[in-house]
Structure 1
């Protein structure tokens, strides 16, 4: 059974990693949770929220992580995405949900095992009395705050990686463009949109906690939630800045590609205009028709070459004056 427990001063910290139907049934029968809350987790139909129940409080949040495939219990826009095996696929940002079931006697955390901070804090509480005192001695709400604060702070390395990717793309565009750069722009734009949709619903929830709208999580903890809100607001601002930056880079890249395309089309057009009259001339003299001028005589070939040059050279000079190539 994927359920681990550590207890201290009447508070149980219960870590449920990758729950199956067996663990869900156990939680339902032992703690009398609303079956809909557990079913929503298993069927991946959740949205970030805070719900008040008679015997417990429910907090649902989601956090970003990088993955080359879509993890089994990850969610995007509330819809499970299939796993695609694409060779050489870039890192994609996906989200993983965390459910907190909180009462005065316990904190039960359901998660898919993809966010290391949860297991790290649980491991610390298991190891020493000092760590249990630090995390669990001030009640269940404080323990939830510590876990959420660690999860929010763990978003910064992910955001830093996105920022580094944008800087790398910008440097690559200064040199020669490649298909790899275009793929990185597309993937990074998509990752920032996903990051944006993850952070957006968390902001009002933390604002509610800071404003004291949930009694069991407030009191002396109210300024602590303000600190978490400040961190998530910084993340939001950086995501917005990075979105604007990658959009600007993408627009500049598209303009550059359009310019290069126009230049190529212009050169091909000039070549076509020069060759067209020569083709017409060649077509006339290629016909087996009597009476065409300059078809007989010792200088026939030279005359034909001169006629071709007489048509081509003025066109080339004209296009050069116009700076069309």
Structure 2
């Protein structure tokens, strides 16, 4: 079985065997499982003897942050940073079922916050289910905070480079920031609602200090959700700006090409006319004819260029 269990008695944590965890006694029994193991569902049903609706919530494939009261306990889903590459799904989930004296946590991918929570348990900072959930929420929000701030910094760098745009890679970088912001936004707003709902649950195993910590984590999640939303809007506006700049750059280059074509069009006609191998071309036998044609071509080119400049078409 993939996982571990801790029994907390009088502020001291002791790691215990998963097989004996359901029958263990103490102030808090924490059981953590990884559902990638096929036996996890069976263990939750046969050993822990949890209700089917609780098990379904713990092992669900797709979850959004939420808090669902269940009898004398609560099922909580939170999202946090993970070390694994998850593609477009930037945050991994932790499913928590808490009741008086027991907490069951289930993950498909290990969160970075898990190690922080384990260290808190070992250090004796956690004594009841409320403390454990508060530790999870605080660790998750503390890890997300610098990530969201980094998104804003990356967007600030992109904004400073707009005026000196010379490559189209800047638009790709803005798109990447926008995609990441959308990914975080999907979970930060409901996570705030889940933490606020959990802090307001009328359960005996949730103490006042736990509610304060959960409210603090909810406020930080709300602030990050607002910042991510602002980043997403800024990235959208910047993408439109870059698209407009690219369109203007293409128009300017097209105008230069069109002006060059207009200048050389009459010159091409004149040189093509005198390049024909036929008799009767005016002044074809005169020794000054070549110099005259060159001078005429230069005069025509200068006149057309001067006219474009006068009309400000070259700007």
TM-score (norm 2): 0.82
Distance 2:57 2:271 in 1: 76
Q: Is the 8 A contact 1:196 1:239 kept in 2?
A: yes
Matched position secondary structure for 2:188? helix
The structural deviation recorded for 1:6 is 1.0
For the Cα contact (< 8 Å) 1:192–1:243, is it kept in 2? yes
SS in 1 for 2:283: coil
Give 1:101's match in structure 2, choosing from 97, 103, 107. Answer: 97
Partner of 1:119 in structure 2? 115
Contact 1:209 1:218 in 2 (8 A): no
1:169 has 2:158 as partner: yes
Shift of 1:267: 0.8
Q: What's the secondary structure of 2:244's corresponding residue?
A: helix
Inter-partner Cα distance in structure 2 for 1:43 and 1:140: 22
Distance 2:244 2:68 in 1: 49
Q: CA deviation at 1:96?
A: 0.4
Deviations 1:42-82 (A, max 9, x none): 56222322233347421112234576x426xxx73xxxxxx
Q: CA deviation at 1:246?
A: 2.8
Partner Cα separation in structure 2 for residue 101 and residue 254 of structure 1? 48
Equivalent residue, structure 1, for 2:306: 317
Aligned equivalents of 1:243 and 1:217: distance in 2?
Answer: 39
Q: After the TM superposition, which residues 248-263 of structure 1 pair with which residues of structure 2 at under 5 Å, given as runs?
A: 248-263=237-252
* Aligned equivalent of 2:67: 50
- Answering whether residue 50 of structure 2 is matched by residue 33 of structure 1, we say yes
CA pair 22-294 structure 1, distance change in 2 beyond 3 A: farther
CA distance in 2, matches of 1:296, 1:13: 107
Count residues in correspondence.
Answer: 296
CA deviation string 1:138-163 (max 9, x = no partner):
x2123212211221222112112212
Instruction: Report if the CA contact (8 A) 1:208-1:214 is conserved.
Output: no
Q: Is the partner of 1:135 in helix, strand or coil?
A: coil
- Considering only CA atoms, is the larger Rg found in Structure 1 or Structure 2? 2
Distance 1:36 1:301 in 2: 96
Cα drift, residue 316 of structure 1: 0.7
Residue among 55, 77, 86 paired with 1:70: 86
- Residue equivalent to 1:8: 8
Q: Do the aligned partners of residues 43 and 140 (structure 1) sit closer, same or farther apart at CA in structure 2, a change above 3 Å counting?
A: closer
Residues 32 and 289 of structure 1: is their aligned pair in 2 closer, same or farther, counting only changes over 3 Å?
farther
Q: Which runs of 5+ in 1 are unaligned?
A: 77-93
Task: State how 1:133-212 maps to structure 2 within 5 Å.
Answer: 134-136=125-127, 139-210=128-199, 212=200
> Deviation of residue 296 (structure 1)?
2.8
CA distance in 1, matches of 2:174, 2:268: 44
CA distance 1:35–1:311, change in 2 (3 Å):
farther
Q: 1:324 aligns to what SS in structure 2?
A: coil
8 Å CA contact 2:57–2:95 kept in 1: the answer is no
Structure 1 match to 2:290: 301
RMSD, matched Cα: 2.7
Gaps of 5+ in 2: 10-25
Task: Kindly indicate whether the alpha-carbon contact (under 8 Å) linking 1:141 and 1:216 is maintained by their aligned counterparts in 2.
Answer: no
Under a length normalisation based on structure 1, what TM-score does the superposition of the two structures give?
0.79
Q: CA deviation at 1:111?
A: 1.8
**Runs of 4 or more above 4 Å deviation:** 34-43, 64-67, 216-219
